Amino acid sequence: MTQLVWNGLFVGSFYALVALGYSMVYGIMKLLNFAHGDLYMLGAFTGFAVLGAAGGVSVTMALPLLLLVLVLTMGTTGLAGVLLERVAYRRLRGAPRLSLLITAVGASFALEYGMRAAAGADPRVYPVRLGGTSLEVLGARVTLQQLALVGVAVVLMVGLNLLVTRSREGRAMRAVALDPRAAALMGIDVDAVIARTFFLGSALAGAAGVMAGAHYGKIDFMMGFLIGLKAFTAAVIGGIGNIPGTMLGGLLLGLLESFGTFWLGGEWRDVFAFGVLILFLTVRPTGLLGERVTERV
Amino acid sequence: MHKIRGTALAAVMASLTLLTAGCGQGLLGSDDAGSGENKDEPIILGMLIPQSGSEAAIGPYMSNAAQMAVDEINEKGGVLGRKLELKTADDACDPQTAAAGANKLVTEGIAVSVGGYCSGATLPTLPIFNKAGIPMVIPVANSQELVDQKLKNVFLINGTGGQQAEAAAAWMTKDGAAKAALMHDNTSYSKDLALRTQKLLDEPGGPETAILEAVTPKESDYSANINNVLAKKPDYVYWTGYFQEAGLLARQFRQAGYEGKILVGDGSVSPKLIEIAGAEAADGVYATMTQTPETLQGAESWIANYKQKFGSDPGPYSNQSYDAVRLAAEAITKAGGTDGEKVIAALEAIDGFSMFSGPLKFTPEHTLSTGGFQILVVKDGKFVLQDPLQ
């Protein structure tokens, strides 16, 4: 039982990290950025390239080195996210939402197959792996490295929450999310705020990508597709646009999958997870913590 | 006036005849070898293989070996005095891409198809080649579904799912397994193999099935599935899917504290499995597999030739692809031309043609009479022969 909970929370923390970017971008510009999962993939490959450039490293140095790679990758994928917004979305500001959505799907394919052209279709394996010296905690097998990864995820999420709720930049983001036009009238540079949002969301997805690469080992150009869908589901469950809600949604989806597999069997896991998505979309589209938004004119 | 009309009519008649002749050429482009046409034209063999997508690594192993067979035959004077030529097309292990590739090969006028790796992608190409009257010698794809189509142009020279299931059950029984967990990825080939193995395990004697577990391919975290499997306390796990998940599963099973044995199907036999799982977790993983170049008896010179030609070792299914080309050439020779019907008859009549898998004779279902599956094991970072199961 505790094993089920731990498995769910571990997978869920990845979902939550990726889902945050989805949720923030949606909150600010009402865009479902379907290319977001591919930024996770981009992060995994960036980390792979940086590690490759660092050359052979002893195992004892693995954790500090990975942290350094993590920071570098977050910067790179963050900038990639900003670039993506600049190239693919900014010109469509004010265009019908459907155009943005279709552009997002196009951007997703461009990233996936661009990576395939650049790195090949073969899966790659991380040169530095987080091994597994596992210990028993309340009957569940947990590795120290898993704990470290969850710790990093928690630190990133708490940091993000502080940034959004306590800083000037965060206040600007919230203002733009509430009403972009009014925010612009108050002297907020909306484009800059949107770029910043993309940077933060993409950096988190990139961090999740590196962590997945280091933990699971295998990366390939399509790895962002499925997790992108799962992250979207997590964001909807928790309340898209709402940051604590999204984190909750990620963890909850991880738990749902873990218990769904246990109760119904492996072939029903995705049916169960996406069934919950449909349920939420029909019964409570604002998600668990999302507020009911009064229709704005 | 009358005369002119007559000439016009004749001209129309003539062009009509030409047109129908032209059509005949296009539709049945390959059957004119028998009627003694242009001897300079090469006989074209078509090969659908994954050159992109998740299974792209396999493509070169197959096309290189096929090209090697073509070159060897051409050095000896070709087939019926004509040169052989190999044309490849990408199936990306994807049904739609495969169908497009098959249509392309048909318009290029191939005489025999010698490709087919992923069963799911090969399946939709069967009716395309069948309609065009092109015989298929399928080197690798081996799902029972291909056999169940009952198309007479389809010949499988790899062991079938049923034969592989027998090998898996035989090995687990021989190795003293008590409870086996069967895991598949819900694709046609993998599920078929798992279900067939389960059926065999249901019979008295040998291990019983602990659980039948399906996973979603292309994910990274299988801890939920592994948790399910371990709750049933199996001492053997048989994974029937492909190598990427096999590597992740082997690693995650060990991390979850599983100490029993792991057996994988032929789709998982790849050096990438060992790389993904890591040397430690991959060590001791068993596999049900048809012959690979490394486990072939007396193939040293063949391997050396391959290495000299392509600068790398042959890989999984190189030998089957090589044999597919040789078999196609043999059948065309016996048929005295490239007429589809005659080549099919020649393939059916073949008895004792020597291949890596042994002397060939097709069953009425156009499959091998014995699968030739053996058990490999990962040792020192490589798949080596554990038991030939003879």
Which of A10, A141, A270 has its CB closest to that of B257? A141
- E strand or H helix that includes residue B3: helix B2-27
Q: B180 vs chain A: nearest CA distance in angstroms?
A: 17
Instruction: Identify the CA nearest to B156 among candidates B139, B171, B173.
Output: B139
- Residue B42 DSSP class: P
- Supply the pLDDT for residue B345: 94
Does A134 sit within 8 Å of B248, measured CB to CB? no
A135 touches chain B (CB under 8 A): no
In the three-class reduction of DSSP (H, G, I as helix; E, B as strand; rest coil), residue B118 is classed as coil
Q: Is the distance from CB of B388 to CB of B369 less than 8 angstroms?
A: no
Nearest CA in chain B to A267: B214
Output the domain CATH number for residue A165. 1.10.3470
Instruction: Identify the CA nearest to A17 among candidates A219, A238, A217, A246.
Output: A246
Please say if the pLDDT value at position A293 is more than 80.
no
Each residue's pLDDT tens digit, A207-226: 999 999 988 989 988 899 98
A16 vs A157, A208, B220, CA distance in Å? 9, 9, 16
- Supply the pLDDT for residue B16: 45
The answer to whether residue A248 sits within a structural domain is yes
Does A218 sit within 8 Å of B244, measured CB to CB? yes
Does A265 sit within 8 Å of B228, measured CB to CB? yes
Give the tokens for residue B293.
Answer: 């170049």
The answer to whether residue A295 sits within a structural domain is no
Which of A134, A262, A270 has its CB closest to that of B227? A262
Each residue's pLDDT tens digit, A177-202: 988 899 999 999 999 999 999 999 99
- Supply the pLDDT for residue B388: 83
- Residue B79 DSSP class: B
Give the tokens for residue B242.
Answer: 């492909």
Please say if the pLDDT value at position A266 is more than 90.
no
Write a three-state SS string for chain A. Answer: CHHHHHHHHHHHHHHHHHHHHHHHHHHHHCCCCCCHHHHHHHHHHHHHHHHHHHCCCCHHHHHHHHHHHHHHHHHHHHHHHHHHHHHHHHHHCCCCHHHHHHHHHHHHHHHHHHHHHHHCCCCEECCCCCCCCEEEECCEEEEHHHHHHHHHHHHHHHHHHHHHHHCHHHHHHHHHHHCHHHHHHCCCCHHHHHHHHHHHHHHHHHHHHHHHHHHHCEECCCHHHHHHHHHHHHHHHHCCCCHHHHHHHHHHHHHHHHHHHHHHCHHHHHHHHHHHHHHHHHHCCCCCCCCCCCCCC
A146 vs A14, A17, A47, A131, A135, CA distance in Å? 11, 15, 18, 10, 11
Q: Is the distance from CB of A143 to CB of A133 less than 8 angstroms?
A: yes
Please say if the pLDDT value at position A45 is more than 90.
yes
A195 touches chain B (CB under 8 A): no
Of the pLDDT bands very low, low, confident and very high (cuts 50, 70, 90), residue A35 is very high
Q: Answer yes or no: same fold for B43-159+297-356 and B162-289+374-387.
A: yes
- Among the ranges A73-82, A87-96, A110-119, B270-279, which has the highest mean pLDDT value? A73-82
Does B228 sit within 8 Å of A269, measured CB to CB? no
Residue type, B378: V
How open is the CA angle B7-B9-B10, to the nearest 5 degrees?
65
Mean pLDDT (10-residue bins), chain B, 390 residues: 45 46 43 51 94 81 94 93 94 92 95 93 95 95 87 91 90 92 89 92 87 89 90 93 92 90 91 89 91 74 90 85 95 93 94 84 88 88 85
A222 touches chain B (CB under 8 A): yes
Give the tokens for residue A143.
Answer: 């590795």
Instruction: Assign a CATH topology to domain B43-159+297-356.
Output: Rossmann fold (3.40.50)
In the three-class reduction of DSSP (H, G, I as helix; E, B as strand; rest coil), residue B152 is classed as coil
Mean pLDDT of chain A: 88
Which chain B positions have a beta carbon within 8 Å of A220's beta carbon?
Answer: 54, 244
Of the pLDDT bands very low, low, confident and very high (cuts 50, 70, 90), residue A56 is low
Which chain A positions have a beta carbon within 8 Å of B220's beta carbon?
Answer: 212, 216, 218, 223
Q: Is the distance from CB of A210 to CB of A153 less than 8 angstroms?
A: no
Mutation site for A-interface testing, chosen from B52, B184, B228 by largest number of A Cβ within 10 Å: B228
A228 touches chain B (CB under 8 A): no
Instruction: Identify the CA nearest to B122 among candidates B103, B138, B105, B104.
Output: B138
In the three-class reduction of DSSP (H, G, I as helix; E, B as strand; rest coil), residue B252 is classed as helix
Q: B312 vs chain A: nearest CA distance in angstroms?
A: 17
Instruction: Identify the CA nearest to A139 among candidates B231, B281, B212.
Output: B231
How many CB atoms lie under 10 A from the CB of residue A150? 18
Mutation site for B-interface testing, chosen from A40, A129, A218 by largest number of B Cβ within 10 Å: A218
Nearest CA in chain B to A227: B219
Which chain B positions have a beta carbon within 8 Å of A116's beta carbon?
Answer: 52
Instruction: Identify the CA nearest to B107 among candidates B30, B37, B21.
Output: B30
Q: B157 vs chain A: nearest CA distance in angstroms?
A: 27
Q: Is the distance from CB of B316 to CB of B270 less than 8 angstroms?
A: yes
The answer to whether residue A130 sits within a structural domain is yes
Which of A122, A226, A266 has its CB closest to that of B225? A266
The domain locations on chain B are 43-159+297-356, 162-289+374-387
Q: What whole-number distance in Å separates Cα of residue A207 and Cα of residue B37?
A: 65
Nearest CA in chain B to A258: B224
Give the tokens for residue A21.
Answer: 């970017």
The answer to whether residue A253 sits within a structural domain is yes
- Supply the pLDDT for residue B32: 43
Instruction: Identify the CA nearest to B113 among candidates B145, B59, B66, B55.
Output: B66
The answer to whether residue A161 sits within a structural domain is yes
Q: A89 vs chain B: nearest CA distance in angstroms?
A: 29
Which chain A positions have a beta carbon within 8 Å of B54's beta carbon?
Answer: 121, 123, 220, 222
The answer to whether residue A297 sits within a structural domain is no
Instruction: Identify the CA nearest to A250 among candidates A10, A6, A18, A16.
Output: A16
Does A223 sit within 8 Å of B220, measured CB to CB? yes
Does B213 sit within 8 Å of A266, measured CB to CB? yes
Which of A10, A123, A226 has its CB closest to that of B272? A123
A276 vs A217, A234, A260, A284, B214, CA distance in Å? 30, 10, 11, 11, 20
Parallel, antiparallel, or unpaired for β B179-184 and B236-239? Answer: parallel
Instruction: Identify the CA nearest to B35 among candidates B44, B24, B46.
Output: B24
- Supply the pLDDT for residue A60: 60
Question: Tokens 């070159």 map to which residue?
Answer: B71
How open is the CA angle B375-B379-B382, to the nearest 5 degrees?
85
Of the pLDDT bands very low, low, confident and very high (cuts 50, 70, 90), residue A59 is low
Domain count, chain A: 1
Of B382 and A293, the one with more pLDDT = B382
- Supply the pLDDT for residue B9: 45
Residue numbers of the domain that contains A179: 2-283
Question: Tokens 């059957």 map to which residue?
Answer: B31
Q: Is the distance from CB of B260 to CB of B237 less than 8 angstroms?
A: yes
Instruction: Assign a CATH topology to domain B162-289+374-387.
Output: Rossmann fold (3.40.50)
Identify the contact set of chain B against chain A, taking CB-CB distances under 8 A: 52-54, 56-57, 183, 186, 213-216, 218-221, 223-225, 227-228, 231, 244, 247-248, 251, 254-257, 272, 275-276, 278
- What percent of chain A clears pLDDT 90, i.e. is strictly above it? 54
The answer to whether residue A216 sits within a structural domain is yes
**Residue A138, phi then psi, degrees to nearest 5:** 50, 40
Of B22 and A48, the one with more pLDDT = A48
Nearest CA in chain B to A256: B224
